[in-house]
Structure 1
Amino acid sequence: MSKKALITGITGMVGSHLADYILDNTDWEIYGVCRWRSPMDNVEHLLDKVNKKDRVYFEYADLNDQISLITVMQKVKPDYIFHLAAQSYPKTSFDSPIDTLNTNILGTCRLLEAVRATADCDPIIHVCASSEVFGRVKKEKLPINEECTFHPASPYAISKVGTDLLGRYYAEAYGMTVMTTRMFTHTGPRRGDVFAESTFAKQIAMIEKGLIPPIVKTGNLESLRTYADVRDAVRAYFLLVTQNPIAGEYYNIGGTYTCMVRDMLDTLLSFSPMKDQITVETDPERLRPIDADLQVPDCSKFKKHTGWEPEISFETTMLDLLNYWRDRVNKGEVFLTR
């Protein structure tokens, strides 16, 4: 009988790419947890399979509704759970701290309690925290390893500290096979337009189409980031749960290409035939009150355990992201200019 994988947040960038990877590389059945109002843009290519009940199924639940999570768990009884759903935008968390903390911390707790409440259900669980838990790291601590002190720099980051600790707690207290990841910056096609590299790519695509003036509006360009491709990230998540999973373990995962946000923008601009006509302008509304400005990972622990290595180059990731937005703009879609 085929294994069952439950993906919370399947309609997000990472969840949709993880579904693609599982479909291409296993015979597993995929149960995607989503809210009734979740946008379907990222999973549009899967809807035919959903409609035909061909290996992909959508289950409606909400991290803020305990009963819905228990209902899904008792129905599916998955072999694997990838917990990716979250309020995932750091800047929004400054305006909506309570919603962020509730969804990410208590939502994770509700999910793990739903597993505990379900008889004959003992899945291997991936709890997705974030590199944002490390927050404001001193230069001498780079690259950041798993034992680096947490110094979260946003309500989102604080919520992910809670998520991280909950995953380890449930492994230690209840013998559940839960592992936690701190994924560093990862991007690619389907990245939400509120994130820096994706809003830059969207603005460039809209400029090329003549929809907005030739000005790319930015936030802080001085942050140092290490970039990974989302397609490498989901392969890492798959290896996490299939290569000798160790309950209670926690891993940094990230790419190998490190640069300033300014350099990332320059790379995107280099792909545009209008690069010499485009100017860059700081938008105060895009600045966070406080920023995690040094995000460079030491991923040796995870690589040693699984053999995972990133395969997709930074330039390929950026070009694919830009072409993703060009395709959407060329289709005539209308976007907020954010």
Structure 2
Amino acid sequence: MQAAAAPRSPGLPFSRLLLTGGNGFVGTHLAPMLSAAAPGLSRLMLVRPGSPAPGADWAVAEAEIDDRESVAAIVRDFAPDCILHLAAQASVGASQAQAEATWRVNFDGTFALAAACARLAPRATFLFTSSGETYGASFRDGEASEGTPLRPQNAYARSKAAAEEMLRDVLGPENRLIVTRAFNHTGRGQDERFVLPAFAAQIARIERGAQPPVMMVGNLDAVRDFLDVRDVCAAYLALLARAPSLKMRSVFNVSSGTGWRIADLLTLLKAQAGAPFEIRPDEARLRPSDIPVAIGRSDLLREVAGWRPAHPIEETLRDILAHARQAAARV
């Protein structure tokens, strides 16, 4: 039986929100922000079977994201008027080694959710978290805006770009689609597959004597646009708050507009280290990029949603290192 309609939450223009990927890196930051921003919102988190339970203020439904029948049943029973789709295989490095799994989650899973939404929640808003990686080779021409051609260069980015195109077709005409292309974002809780947490974890182990005083690194020359994960979450909330005024098909970059050389970020982290160490290249980590600089423009997001990054990179690095030290102390 379909869920009864509920009054809209005073914090967001929705009454029933379905969140996927809520147990992931971004989701663990976003879920409590959603709870705080819209305490009256009926909230359901779709998680993989056997995943850790979220906070008590979230109801939970278990399903593999690409299981079309299970996903459809969840959408039918919960009847969301907003779907916030975070679930993805998000590591660029892992996507190349696990291309089939990447496409299954990032494309097939998104298709399953979109098809269910179109049939069973035909007026719901659907926010899809894509990636600045989709611009790919276009970064050779300079900073990327929403109108920059998508020229993805890896399985992760290709699966996200394909999902964007699919959503425009599969979602119904009354489903509002918001696509966000977030650039590199980091913070507490991100795992060591990503560059800054990998640096921080090594520093924490070196400080405790659990690793020789040698920092193993990959390519330090690339320049990337970094954001704190909390600022990315704030952008999603700002867009949802303004959803009724957005076009039926909208795309927004979520970026700082500032490029950071990876070597300079490592220097900032090293200055906070409690023990000296040598920096040494590791061939296993070296993935030389033919895109030396990748920076995004987020003028549209700033204009439409009034969003600005609130957390400077120095604060983010302190948080990442503090988290890594706590994790090292538990080993």
The question of a shared fold, defined as TM-score above 0.5 by the shorter chain, is answered with yes
Letter in 2 for 1:145: S
Query: Which of 91, 95, 98 pairs up with 1:96?
Result: 98
CA contact (8 A) 1:90 1:156 kept: yes
What is the percent sequence identity of the aligned residues? 27
Q: How many residues align?
A: 316
CA contact (8 A) 1:228 1:256 kept: no
CA contact (8 A) 1:93 1:154 kept: yes
| Structure 2 Cα separation of the partners of residues 270 and 153 of structure 1 | 34
| Structure 2 Cα separation of the partners of residues 130 and 65 of structure 1 | 23
Q: Which residue of the partner structure matches residue 52 of structure 1?
A: none
CA contact (8 A) 1:221 1:262 kept: yes
SS in 2 for 1:17: helix
Q: Which residue of the partner structure matches residue 284 of structure 2?
A: 285
| Structure 2 Cα separation of the partners of residues 175 and 289 of structure 1 | 44
Q: Which residue of the partner structure matches residue 336 of structure 1?
A: none
* Per-residue Cα deviation, 1:122-163 (whole angstroms, up to 9, x for no partner): 221101110110112354x32211111222121111111112
| Structure 1 Cα separation of the partners of residues 139 and 312 of structure 2 | 27
CA contact (8 A) 1:17 1:230 kept: yes
Letter in 2 for 1:93: S
* Per-residue Cα deviation, 1:274-328 (whole angstroms, up to 9, x for no partner): 1xx2111222222337564422011001111111111111100111011111111
Query: Which of 115, 136, 142 pairs up with 2:117?
Result: 115
Q: Which residue of the partner structure matches residue 245 of structure 1?
A: 246
Q: 1:312 to 1:98 in 2, by over 3 A?
A: same
Matched, 1:261 2:273: no
* Unaligned residue ranges in structure 2 (runs of 5+): 1-6, 10-14
> After the TM superposition, which residues 23-172 of structure 1 pair with which residues of structure 2 at under 5 Å, given as runs?
23-27=35-39, 28-38=41-51, 40=52, 46-47=54-55, 49=56, 55-118=57-120, 122-139=123-140, 141-170=141-170
CA contact (8 A) 2:110 2:163 kept: yes
Letter in 2 for 1:5: L
**Aligned-residue offset at 1:240:** 1.2
Letter in 2 for 1:169: D
Q: Which residue of the partner structure matches residue 210 of structure 1?
A: 209
Which consecutive segments of 4 or more residues in structure 1 shift more than 4 A?
289-292
Q: Which residue of the partner structure matches residue 33 of structure 2?
A: 21
Letter in 2 for 1:59: A
**Aligned-residue offset at 1:204:** 0.9
* Per-residue Cα deviation, 1:233-266 (whole angstroms, up to 9, x for no partner): 1110011122123221111111244211111111
Range that drifts further, 281-290 or 234-243: 281-290
CA contact (8 A) 1:154 1:290 kept: no
| Structure 2 Cα separation of the partners of residues 133 and 321 of structure 1 | 26
CA contact (8 A) 1:228 1:257 kept: no
CA contact (8 A) 2:231 2:309 kept: yes
**Aligned-residue offset at 1:121:** 5.2
CA contact (8 A) 1:167 1:180 kept: no
**Aligned-residue offset at 1:37:** 3.7
| Structure 1 Cα separation of the partners of residues 261 and 138 of structure 2 | 16
Given the two structures, how large is their TM-score scaled by the length of structure 2?
0.90
Q: Which residue of the partner structure matches residue 4 of structure 2?
A: none
Letter in 1 for 2:163: T
SS in 1 for 2:309: coil
CA contact (8 A) 1:153 1:290 kept: no
Q: Which residue of the partner structure matches residue 324 of structure 2?
A: 325
SS in 1 for 2:284: helix
SS in 2 for 1:298: coil
Q: 1:148 to 1:130 in 2, by over 3 A?
A: same
SS in 1 for 2:219: coil
**Aligned-residue offset at 1:267:** 1.2
CA contact (8 A) 2:139 2:291 kept: no
Q: Which residue of the partner structure matches residue 176 of structure 2?
A: 177
Q: 1:231 to 1:161 in 2, by over 3 A?
A: same
* Unaligned residue ranges in structure 1 (runs of 5+): 50-54, 333-338
Given the two structures, how large is their TM-score scaled by the length of structure 1?
0.88
| Structure 2 Cα separation of the partners of residues 174 and 121 of structure 1 | 8
Letter in 2 for 1:296: I
Letter in 2 for 1:237: Y
